[in-house]
Structure 1
Amino acid sequence: MFHRIRRRAAEPSEAQRRFLELSARLRDQTPPGIGGQSAEPERGEPAVVVDDFLPPELRVPSHDQLDGRMMPWKQPLVLDDEMVTCAECGAYRDWLVLSTRDQIWLRCQAGHQQQETRLDTAWYNRSAGPADATHATFEDCLRHLGH
Structure 2
Amino acid sequence: MFHRIRRRAAEPSEEQRRFFELSAQLEGQVPPEVERVRAELDRAEPATVVDYFLPPELRVPSHDQLDGRMTSWKQPIVLDGEMVACAECGAYRDWLVLSTRDQIWLRCRAGHQQQETRLDTAWYNRHTGPADATHATFEDCLRHLGH
Q: TM-score, normalised by structure 2?
A: 0.71
For structure 1, which segment, 46-55 or 119-128, has the greater mean C-alpha deviation from structure 2 after superposition?
46-55
1:80 aligned partner: 80
Percentage identity across paired residues of the two chains:
84
Shift in Å at residue 94 of structure 1?
A: 0.3
1:122 aligned partner: 122
- 1:97-136 deviation digits (Å, cap 9, x = unpaired): 0000010000001100000000011101111111000000
1:91 aligned partner: 91
2:64 aligned partner: 64
One-letter identity of the residue aligned with 1:96: L
For 2:65 and 2:46, how far apart are their aligned partners in 1? 36
For 1:144 and 1:98, how far apart are their aligned partners in 2? 14
SS in 2 for 1:132: coil
Q: TM-score, normalised by structure 1?
A: 0.71
1:49 aligned partner: 49
For 1:135 and 1:110, how far apart are their aligned partners in 2? 21
- 1:33-81 deviation digits (Å, cap 9, x = unpaired): xx94336345474432211111111111111100000011000000000
Taking structure 1 as reference, are residues 49 and 79 closer, same or farther at Cα in structure 2, changes over 3 Å only? same
SS in 2 for 1:117: coil
2:18 aligned partner: none
For 2:90 and 2:124, how far apart are their aligned partners in 1? 23
Q: State the aligned residue count.
A: 113
Unaligned runs of 5+ in 1: 1-34
Unaligned runs of 5+ in 2: 1-31
1:14 aligned partner: none
For 2:75 and 2:132, how far apart are their aligned partners in 1? 20
Higher helix share: 2
For 2:108 and 2:90, how far apart are their aligned partners in 1? 9
Matched, 1:113 2:113: yes
SS in 1 for 2:136: coil
For 1:63 and 1:36, how far apart are their aligned partners in 2? 49
